[in-house]
Amino acid sequence: MHEVDYKKMEQAVTMILEAIGEDPSREGLLDTPKRVAKMYAEVFEGLHEDPKQYFETVFHENHNEVVLVKDIPFHSMCEHHLVPFVGHAHIAYIPRDGVVAGLSKLARAVETTARRPQLQERITSTVADAMMDMLNPIGVYVIIEAEHMCMTMRGIRKPGAKTMTTVARGVYEQDDIKRSEILSMIKM
């Protein structure tokens, strides 16, 4: 396990405050470097974790139809600007030979993958690939929609704009009808 260097982060935050013309010794900012270091350690705690771990334990059920967990809330940090993006993930898969994962494991895979400097596109594909590798399902379809603070707070400044990414694996890559089925289930 990787140790977080809190001292180094505190020094970096102090330097940023000084660089923007702030006084890090003023009352309101005295403990800010410590708070930011603690927050970054928490926000990036998935950096050295593998989402595949959540699919090591499986159950054998007589179920070979769609499993969908939708509206999984998550937050991550854009690796380009280190500002948050927040949204929801929707994950569908069709088990092969009745091999299913615990439902909470899908949400845990999203959370672990999101808790690192990240791109939305990478979260989408990492979760889908982990499920394909570990569960060997007939297909996986992952949809993520999020609002990126790098578009809201800076640059174009368009609050409310959402980015959607999808990844289709297995049967969902070729079957338009099966993909449409998932999209209609998400809208329910």
Give the H or E element holding residue 183.
Answer: helix 176-187
pLDDT at residue 60, rounded to an integer: 97
* CATH T-level topology, domain 53-187: GTP Cyclohydrolase I, domain 2 (3.30.1130)
User: DSSP for 67-133?
Assistant: EEEEEEEEEEEETTT--EEEEEEEEEEE-STTEE--HHHHHHHHHHHHSSEE-HHHHHHHHHHHHHH
Catalytic residue among 81, 145, 147, 181: 81
Catalytic residue among 10, 78, 90, 118: 78
Catalytic residue among 60, 63, 75, 80: 80
Rounded to the nearest 5°, which phi and psi values hold at 46? -90, 0
Catalytic residue among 10, 90, 111, 120: 120
Listed by start position, the domains of the chain span 6-43, 53-187
Query: pTM of the entire structure?
Result: 0.94
pLDDT (tens digit, 0 to 9) for every residue of the chain, 188 residues total? 578 999 999 999 999 999 999 999 999 999 999 999 999 999 999 999 999 999 999 999 999 999 999 999 999 999 999 999 999 999 999 999 999 999 999 999 999 999 999 999 999 999 999 999 999 999 999 999 999 999 999 989 999 999 999 999 999 999 999 999 999 999 98
The answer to whether 2 is a known catalytic residue is no
Give the H or E element holding residue 150.
Answer: helix 149-152
The answer to whether 88 is a known catalytic residue is no
pLDDT at residue 20, rounded to an integer: 98
pLDDT at residue 122, rounded to an integer: 98
Catalytic residue among 18, 79, 121, 173: 79
Task: Tell me the C-alpha to C-alpha distance, in Å, between residue 156 and each of 4, 57, 69, 132, 148.
Answer: 34, 44, 33, 37, 11
pLDDT at residue 15, rounded to an integer: 98
CATH of the domain spanning 6-43, picked from 2.60.40.1930, 1.10.579.10, 3.30.1490.20, 1.10.286.10: 1.10.286.10
Task: Please name the residue that has the structure tokens 């926000």.
Answer: 43
The answer to whether 75 is a known catalytic residue is no
The answer to whether 3 is a known catalytic residue is no
The answer to whether 148 is a known catalytic residue is yes
pLDDT at residue 1, rounded to an integer: 58
Catalytic residue among 53, 147, 150, 181: 150
